[in-house]
Structure 1
Amino acid sequence: MAKQSWLTIDGVVLLDKPVGLSSNTALQKVRRAYRAAKGGHTGTLDPLASGLLPLCLGEATKFSQMLLDADKAYVAHVRLGETTTTGDAEGEILVRSELRPTEANIDAVLPRFLGEIEQIPPMYSALKRDGKPLYEYARAGVELVRAPRQVRILSLVRGALDGQEFDLAVACSKGTYIRTLAEDIGAALGCGAHITALRRTRIGPFLIEGAVGLEALESDSALREAALKPVDLLAGHLPVVELDEDQCRRFAHGQSVTLPAFEPGEARIYRRERFLGLGRCEANGTLVPVRLVAERASSAQMLDVQENSPL
């Protein structure tokens, strides 16, 4: 069986995921584009949705969890007057309504959904019950009781109403289901609603304007090189601690070091601009290693793996 050489590539790619791909499929395509031996994503984005999907390669996968708690922003295209089985255009229409809300009607109900609200997770979601995602139960025709969850809606901005449809820009906390939000708004208007398109435009400090499309990434080597961001990109919100040579050696071997007084909490650790990983500064002046970055002999090492490696 033929072998394929893969590279130990380290870095972060801000991908503009196209509609129709799962997050994992998008990740594997990016891995193939870079011939990267290892990769992971920072949280899923539904196949129906497009937009910002940060992907981690190599050592950056150690920091992929850092965006899970970040606030996010989306633009949803909402269709009024129809509810579907899935809350989006992929589902079957359950109910149609002849009621036609005006922009004033919509503006009157939107403030109800700002701030801390409760949502019941949809059956068509990846949440698990007894080891199975809810969507598997839903596809089998089984409806399970789901406990409401508290989420936070930071802002809602309505676009112009065109017949039964309008765009809704949403800034929200992690765990918010935009499909459920649209359904609940439709219920408050008395006509029902679902989303026909969804685009993620922001995760934490990262904006869609800084993302690269999949086709361009696959076809343009210069763009591919430029799109690979440093391993420490996702930790950019943390304070920086610079170590001397002896401290660096101890820290890189997983040993605590003593520092002048720093604010307690996590920090990015460097030695002459080389990112060493994350550490936790204790109140007593001790820096404890939390997550270390492996030092590469070179920026890209070759690995031989089977051509049918699970990419």
Structure 2
Amino acid sequence: MQEAVPQATPRPPRQRIQRRPLHGVLLLDKPLGLSSNDALQKAKWLLRAEKAGHTGTLDPLATGLLPLCFGAATKFSQVSLEADKTYRATLALGRTTTTGDAEGELLQQRPVALDRDAIEAACARFTGPISQLPPMHSALKRDGKALYEYARAGIEVERAPRQVVIHHIDIIDWQADTLVIDVRCSKGTYIRTLAEDIGQALGCGAHLSALRRTGSGPLQVADAVTLEQLAALDEAAREALLKPVDWLLSDWPRVALPEDEAGRFLTGLRRRVRLADAPAVRVYGPQPSAFLGSAHIASGELIADRLLSPVEVQGLIS
């Protein structure tokens, strides 16, 4: 008699998430150890959003403000990307590492014998327009590969210095071999490189042991939500956290068009306006919520830069 073969219990079908068109900006407080893209994908999943993007990468070893754009708001993510940033950086004085941060191997350890005047003078040296050499352990691309890929293979490639601006450096705390500073800087600034340069100027060396982004333009981490907080909310409460699509442009001049002009503007046609020239304006239809897109004004003409689709505009109104 043939022995019966036990049948495997069939797995229940995997439930697919029904994605939906969602428009707006979410301020996320990125946790330590998570890449910016992983944080984005988790938030996108929690909101069931069809389309999303972030506005500038934060290293996995950094925490803090990561503005996320959903739907139509992704068209304006460059605004936040171009904005000045603020960081709280913790420097480990007297120790240099292979990567310039706490992830690397110790290269050199030196005694730290400093006073407040020396630290203030070193920070002042790097305030204003400065030149930075991008670190090998960075995501900057060279021939299609990130520099950190070359670094991990033990290859150092030539890099061109870049010009950045350090608007201010404030000393928040200093105890023995630990220095905490607040930095406001232009986009593209490497805080890890700044930490190494300050350490070199002090004569003892340093590496970046912790980093938190506290601001991006007018956006502040105090207004951000963590992934844990987002996950604890129901769907309606999560959606309520989204700022309007035009929120990243809130400090730009506002231009309102009548209905017939708004329709023509949405097709990309230039419109005559009795307004002063402006490099960037936000444009609306006759309804206050009818955000149409961004534009600039030159010689009395309103010229579209980034436009929403009619479907997106209708979604914002309804």
> What is the TM-score when the length of structure 2 is the normalising length?
0.90
- Larger RCO (CA within 8 A; separation ≥ 6): 1
1:159 counterpart SS class: strand
Q: Tell me the equivalent position of 2:125.
A: 112
Q: Tell me the equivalent position of 1:291.
A: 306
1:278 aligned residue (257, 275, 294)? 294
Is the Cα–Cα contact under 8 Å of residues 72 and 204 in structure 1 kept in the other structure? yes
> Aligned partners of 1:278, 1:30: CA distance in 2, in Å?
26
1:212 counterpart SS class: coil
CA spacing shift, 1:248–1:290, aligned 2, 3 Å: same
Deviation (angstroms), 1:300:
12
1:94 aligned residue (76, 93, 107)? 107
2:75 aligned residue (26, 51, 62)? 62
> Aligned partners of 1:133, 1:185: CA distance in 2, in Å?
25
Is the Cα–Cα contact under 8 Å of residues 241 and 267 in structure 1 kept in the other structure? yes
Give unpaired runs (5+ residues) of structure 1.
Answer: 302-311
2:262 aligned residue (248, 270, 288)? 248
Deviation (angstroms), 1:233:
0.8
Q: Tell me the equivalent position of 1:202.
A: 215
> Aligned partners of 2:176, 2:243: CA distance in 1, in Å?
43
Is the Cα–Cα contact under 8 Å of residues 268 and 277 in structure 1 kept in the other structure? yes
Residue 301 of structure 2 aligns to which amino acid in structure 1?
Answer: T
1:56 counterpart SS class: strand
Q: Tell me the equivalent position of 2:9.
A: none
> Aligned partners of 2:219, 2:66: CA distance in 1, in Å?
10
Question: Is residue 26 from structure 1 mapped to residue 39 from structure 2 by the alignment?
Answer: yes
Is the Cα–Cα contact under 8 Å of residues 82 and 94 in structure 1 kept in the other structure? yes
Residue 197 of structure 1 aligns to which amino acid in structure 2?
Answer: A
> Aligned partners of 1:299, 1:156: CA distance in 2, in Å?
41
Q: What per-residue deviation string (whole Å, max 9, x for no partner) do you get for residues 20-68 of structure 1?
A: 1111001101101100010001111111110111000011101111122
CA spacing shift, 1:300–1:5, aligned 2, 3 Å: farther
Farther off after superposition, 241-250 or 263-272: 263-272
Is the Cα–Cα contact under 8 Å of residues 17 and 48 in structure 2 kept in the other structure? no
Q: Tell me the equivalent position of 2:244.
A: 230
1:148 aligned residue (161, 166, 184)? 161
> Aligned partners of 1:264, 1:161: CA distance in 2, in Å?
45
CA spacing shift, 1:104–1:280, aligned 2, 3 Å: closer
1:132 aligned residue (141, 145, 158)? 145
1:5 counterpart SS class: coil
CA spacing shift, 1:298–1:281, aligned 2, 3 Å: closer
Is the Cα–Cα contact under 8 Å of residues 216 and 223 in structure 1 kept in the other structure? no
Q: Tell me the equivalent position of 2:280.
A: 266
Is the Cα–Cα contact under 8 Å of residues 283 and 291 in structure 2 kept in the other structure? yes
CA spacing shift, 1:96–1:4, aligned 2, 3 Å: same
Q: Tell me the equivalent position of 2:10.
A: none
CA spacing shift, 1:252–1:158, aligned 2, 3 Å: same
**Aligned CA-pair RMSD:** 1.8
1:212 aligned residue (225, 228, 232)? 225
> Aligned partners of 1:155, 1:242: CA distance in 2, in Å?
37
Question: Is residue 157 from structure 1 mapped to residue 173 from structure 2 by the alignment?
Answer: no
Deviation (angstroms), 1:189:
1.0
Deviation (angstroms), 1:177:
0.6
Q: What per-residue deviation string (whole Å, max 9, x for no partner) do you get for residues 155-211 of structure 1?
A: 111123222102111111111111101101111111110111100011111111111
Q: What per-residue deviation string (whole Å, max 9, x for no partner) do you get for residues 124-162 of structure 1?
A: 001111111100000001112222211111111112322
**Structure showing greater Rg:** 2
Deviation (angstroms), 1:223:
4.2
> Aligned partners of 2:206, 2:133: CA distance in 1, in Å?
16
> Aligned partners of 2:208, 2:301: CA distance in 1, in Å?
51
The alignment-based identity, stated in percent, is: 52
Deviation (angstroms), 1:4:
2.8
Q: Tell me the equivalent position of 2:253.
A: 239
Q: Tell me the equivalent position of 1:73.
A: 86
Q: Tell me the equivalent position of 1:172.
A: 185
2:182 counterpart SS class: strand
> Aligned partners of 1:298, 1:116: CA distance in 2, in Å?
44
Residue 72 of structure 2 aligns to which amino acid in structure 1?
Answer: E
1:33 counterpart SS class: helix
> Aligned partners of 2:33, 2:66: CA distance in 1, in Å?
14
Q: Tell me the equivalent position of 1:36.
A: 49
Residue 191 of structure 2 aligns to which amino acid in structure 1?
Answer: I
Deviation (angstroms), 1:110:
1.6
Is the Cα–Cα contact under 8 Å of residues 280 and 287 in structure 1 kept in the other structure? yes
Is the Cα–Cα contact under 8 Å of residues 112 and 177 in structure 2 kept in the other structure? no
